[in-house]
Structure 1
Amino acid sequence: MINPAYEIERLLKYGQHWGLLGKWDVVPTRNALLDLFQISEPYDGLVEEESYDSPVPILDNLLDYAYETGLLKENTVTYRDLLDTRIMGLLMPRQSEVIEKFYNTVREKSIKQATDDYYTLSKASNYIRMDRIEKNLYWLASTEYGDIEITVNLSKPEKDPKAIAAARNMKQSSYPKCQLCLENVGYAGRVNHPARENHRVIPIELGNEQWFLQYSPYVYYNEHCIVFSEAHRPMKISREAFLRLLEFVEKVPHYFIGSNADLPIVGGSILSHDHFQGGHHQFPMEKAQVERTFIHKDFPDVKVGIVKWPMSVIRLSGASKEDLVELADRVLALWREYSDESVEVLAYSEEGGKKTPHNTITPIARKNRNQEYELDLVLRNNRTSKEHPYGIFHPHEDLHHIKKENIGLIEVMGLAVLPGRLSVEMEGIKAILAGEKPFDEKRLMEDEDLGKHLPWIQELVEKYGTGNQKDDTEEIVKKEIGRIFTRVLEDAGVFKRDQKGMDSFLKFMDHAGFSIKGDSGK
C-alpha cells in the first residue's frame, strides 16, 4: 500500500539533497504537494535516509497512487509525464534564482562550473530524464575516417494512442508557438505538447540579441545544449549566425556549438525557430584531420583546409573572430549561387516561374586545442530527383532500413542517432547469424521487423555465415551498422570522395578564392 505522505517526505529530502530546495523552502513545498494530492496532513514518522540518485522511484509511487485515486486520468506515459513534471515543478527554484546563481558562479568561479551546476540541476529536476536516456544503446564503429559514434535512441517514449486520440479532439492551441519558445518555461503541457514546469533557461546575449541556453531533454551526448533566439523566427544561416556561433564559444569556450542547415531535407526537425545546438563533447568530425590546406589572399592569417570526412567540410581557424566571420560569409554567399552539373549540384531549380534555392551550409564552431577560433563549414544541397525523391544528397533508399531521417547537425559531426526499432531488429539479425533462427528468405520477407533488412541480411549471411558465436554476432552487427552509417554520410556529401568528387571540390575552392597551400602531410 502506497503512503503518499511518506513519498512526499522522500521527495522533499531528494530536493534538498540536490539543492532544488533550501531549508526554508521545505514547508511551503510540502504544503503544495499535499494540496496537489489532496492529503490533509503530512507524514509524521521517521523517513529513512537513501541514496537519492533519482526521483523516479518516488515519482512512480506517487503516480501509481494518483491513478488509484483518480487524480491521474490515464495510466499512460503521456499522462504520467504531465503529472510527474508538475510534481517536480513544485520543487524548482524560480527562473530568476537559477539565472542569478548561474551568473554568480561565472563571476566567482568559472563558466565551466556554472554549466556543470546548471546541467546537474537539469538532471536532478527530471527535466532530463536520465532513467530513459541510460537505456539508449551506444558504441563506436571504426571507419577510414576514424571512430564514429552510434546511438540507438530508446529514450523517446512511443506514441501514446490514448493521448493521440485526446489530442485529435482538443481545441487547437498555438501557445507556445513551438517547443523551443521561451514560453515553454514553466508550461504545464498538454497531451500533444510536453510539460515544462521543471524547465529553466539561462539568458545569453549573442550578436546584440537576446538568446537563451538550455539543455536538450534527450541529451544525445554530454551536456547536449540548445541555444535559441527569443524571437520565434525561421532558421537562417547568415553572417549574423556565424558571428553568434563564434561569440558563443568566446563566452563558453569549453562547448562547441553548431547550427542545422536552414533548408528542408538537409536541416533539422525544427526549422521554424532560430536555434543552435552545442555541448561539452568532442565529435568524430572534430578529430578528423585536414587533408589539404589552402590560403586566401584576403585572409592570410586564417588557416583553411578540407577535412578528411565523408561529407564536404571546409575548416577555418585563426585568432581573429572577425576574419572567420567575414571569410565564412564569403564562402556562404558563393556556395549559395554555385552550380556544378557534373556532380548534380545546382544552386536553384525553377518551377512555375518560382526559383527554389538548394545550397546552404551546416556550420560548427569551437575553440581548438590552440585556443583559436575554429569554424567547420559543411556544404549542403537539398535537391531531389526521380531516382532519389528523398534527396540526392540524403541517405539513399537502400540505406533507409537503418537511417531514413534527415542528416542534421549531430549526424553530420559523426554521431548516428538511429531509431529505437533497431534494438529489437538487431536481436533478430544476431539470432540468424548465430544459427538460432533459420535464414528463410520467404519468412523474412513477411517478418514485420526484419523484412526491411532482407537484402542486408543476405549480404551479412554471405559474408559471415550463420554459425557465429553469439558474442561475435554483437560485434558483427555493430560494425556493419557503422559501415552503413558511413555510407549514409557519404550519400549526404555533395562532393564525393572519389577522384571526380575531389576534383569538383577543388574547383569550388578555387572559385571561392582559395589557393592550394600543399598537402597537410608534406
Structure 2
Amino acid sequence: MIYQHIAGLIQKALDVQLIEPADKIYMRNQVMSLLGLETYPEDVQESDDTLSNLVEKIIAYAVEEKVIDNLYDDKEVLAANIMNCFVPRPSVVNTVFNQSYQESPNAATNYFYNLSINNNYIQQNRIAKNISYKSDTAYGQLDITINLSKPEKDPEQIKRERELKQTINYPKCLLCIENEGYAGRLGHPARANHRIINIPLLNENWYLQYSPYVYYNEHCILLSEEHRPMKINRKSFERLLSFTEKFPHYFIGSNADLPIVGGSILSHDHYQGGRYEFAMTRAENAFNFKLEGFPEIQASVLNWPMSVIRIRSKHMVSLVNAADKILLNWRNYTDENADVLAFTDDTPHNTITPIARNRNGILELDLVLRNNRTTDEHPLGIFHPHEDVHHIKKENIGLIEVMGLAVLPPRLKDELVDIKEFLLGNSGKVASYHQRWAEQLKLEYGKLSTNEQAESILREELGKKFVKCLQDAGVFKNRGGFERFITSLNSMESEYATKR
C-alpha cells in the first residue's frame, strides 16, 4: 500500500499544481529516500484520498516499519520533510506572489494561502476537528471555538522533552524568520514546508505567513525580520495602516504588549490579520465624540463588552496622530473610580490592542483599552476573566478573543458532554469546577428531554460566559468612565503636540 499512497500523493500534488508532470519521477525518488525505500514496482495503482489523509497514511507506514519512532515530533518532522519535496524554494514563492500582486492583492494572497493549504502546512484535517459555532448575544453573533486542532503530546514525548537539556537557541522563537525550512527537533515544531513572503513596511522587512492552526479564514501573521519584543507605539499604527493599504481585503491587528493582556508570544514583534468579519467589526457605535485637534477624524465608543474607541479617516497621517495621542494619554491615565492605575511604582499597566481596516478607502482603527493590574482579589488580573468564568476560560483575552472569537480549551469537548447528560438526567458526572454552573442551568431550564434542546441551551449559555469574559476584561464598565477619559484626552492637546 505504501507505493499506492506515494503515487496518490504525487497525483494530488499534480492536481493542485504543486508540481508539473515532468517532476513525477524526481518527486517519487525524493519521498522514497525519506522512507528508506530503494525500489518501486511497476504499474502502481494510485490511492484516491485527500492530500492530508495520504500524508497521514504514509507517516503511519513509517511508524509501523520503524523508519521513525511513534513520537509526535518525529512524525511531524517526517510529514513536513515529505511535503517540502513538493514546495518551491522561497525565492520562487516570493516571485510568484509578487507577480500575482500585479494582478491584484487578492490574487497574491489567494496564491499563498492555497499553497499553504496544498503543501499541508495548514493542516485542514486537524482544523476540521475544532468545534465551532456562532452564538447570538446582545453584542451580535459571537464565534465560539473549542480548539482541538493541535494534537496532544504522548507521555513519552513529554518525558523526552523534560529530560532534554535544551541548549539550542536557533531559531530564537517560533516566529523568527529562521523557521522557514527548518526541519524541527524535539520540542520545536517542524517547518521544512514552511514559506514566508517578504512585505516591506516603512523601510523595514516584515514577513507574511499563515497560521498553521487557522482560527478564522486566511488567518495570517505578519512578523518582524528582527527578533525584538512586541511594542505598541506610533510605528505600530503606521505599519498596521500601511499594511491595509497594501492588502485592503485584510484586517490586521496586534496583541497588547504587556503580560496578562498581551499575547502568548511577547518576545517577537508581530501582528495578526486575515479575511474575516468578526462581531466587533460589525459593532455599532454606543456614542460619538469629538477628538480635539482632529476635526477630520470620526471618533466613537463602540457598543462592545470591552472598552473600544473607533477612529476613522481617509487620511493616514491624521489617523496615526490621533491614535498616538490616545495611546500616549492612556499610558499615563489613572482613574481610581474605575480601578485603573497607570503605574505601580515603575511598572506600567496601561496599553492598547489595536486593529486596523480599510473600508473602501476609509481607514479605521479600533483601539481597545487594556490594563493588566492585579490585586489579592483578582490575582490573575482585575481586567481579566474573573474566577466565576475560569471553569470555561482562564487564559488571556488576546487579539482574537477581543474581536469576538472565543478560543476555548480542548477539555471542554468532553466536559460539555457530561453537563449535557446531567441536564438530560442521564448522569450526575460533572467536573467539580462546572458543578455550580450545571446546577444553575438545571434549576433555570429544568430537566431537558432531547439532545438537541440540551446542546442548544449549552451553546447559548457558553456564549453568555464568553461575553462575561470580555466584560471582565473591559476597563470601563459604564459611559461615565469613558467620558472622564475623553475629557482628559481632549484637555491634553498641547502636551500631545509637544510630544509628537
How many angstroms apart in 1 are the aligned matches of 2:389 and 2:491? 35
**CA root-mean-square deviation:** 1.5
Alignment partner of 1:360 is 2:351? yes
Residues 320 and 468 (structure 1 numbering): CA distance in 2 closer, same or farther, change over 3 Å?
A: same
Query: Hey, what does 2:496 align to over in structure 1?
Result: none
Secondary structure, aligned partner of 1:287: coil
After superposition, residues 152-171 of structure 1 pair within 5 angstroms as 152-171=146-165
After superposition, residues 75-224 of structure 1 pair within 5 angstroms as 75-107=70-102, 109-172=103-166, 173-224=168-219
Moved more, 224-233 or 458-467: 458-467
After superposition, residues 328-343 of structure 1 pair within 5 angstroms as 328-343=323-338
How many angstroms apart in 2 are the aligned matches of 1:320 and 1:16? 46
For structure 1, list consecutive stretches of 5 or more residues without a partner in the other structure: 439-443, 516-522
- 1:70 deviates by 1.8
Q: Deviations over 1:23-51 (max 9, x none)?
A: 3332322221122122222232143484x
Query: Hey, what does 2:434 align to over in structure 1?
Result: 453
Q: 1:30 aligns with which of 14, 28, 31?
A: 28
Secondary structure, aligned partner of 1:305: strand
Counterpart AA for 1:435: G
Contact 1:296 1:514 in 2 (8 A): no
Q: Deviations over 1:104-134 (max 9, x none)?
A: 1111x21101111211111111111100101
What TM-score results when the alignment is normalised by the length of structure 2?
Answer: 0.96
Counterpart AA for 1:208: N
After superposition, residues 119-518 of structure 1 pair within 5 angstroms as 119-172=113-166, 173-350=168-345, 355-368=346-359, 370-438=360-428, 450-496=431-477, 501-513=478-490
Contact 1:82 1:194 in 2 (8 A): yes
Residues 253 and 233 (structure 1 numbering): CA distance in 2 closer, same or farther, change over 3 Å?
A: same
Contact 1:5 1:39 in 2 (8 A): no
Q: 2:45 aligns with which of 44, 47, 65?
A: 47
How many angstroms apart in 2 are the aligned matches of 1:60 and 1:288? 42
Q: Deviations over 1:254-274 (max 9, x none)?
A: 000000000000000000000
How many angstroms apart in 2 are the aligned matches of 1:246 and 1:143? 30
Q: Deviations over 1:139-173 (max 9, x none)?
A: 11111111111111010111322112222233411
For structure 2, list consecutive stretches of 5 or more residues without a partner in the other structure: 493-500
How many angstroms apart in 1 are the aligned matches of 2:244 and 2:115? 22
Query: Hey, what does 1:67 align to over in structure 2?
Result: 63
- 1:59 deviates by 1.8
Contact 1:365 1:375 in 2 (8 A): yes
How many angstroms apart in 2 are the aligned matches of 1:213 and 1:405? 26
Identity of aligned residues (%): 49
Secondary structure, aligned partner of 2:181: coil
Contact 1:317 1:324 in 2 (8 A): yes
How many angstroms apart in 2 are the aligned matches of 1:139 and 1:5? 40
Secondary structure, aligned partner of 2:290: strand
How many angstroms apart in 2 are the aligned matches of 1:431 and 1:375? 45
Secondary structure, aligned partner of 2:272: strand
What TM-score results when the alignment is normalised by the length of structure 1?
Answer: 0.92
How many angstroms apart in 1 are the aligned matches of 2:411 and 2:152? 10
- 1:91 deviates by 1.4
Contact 2:5 2:47 in 1 (8 A): no
Q: 1:17 aligns with which of 15, 18, 32?
A: 15
Counterpart AA for 1:45: D
- 1:228 deviates by 0.3
- 1:466 deviates by 1.8
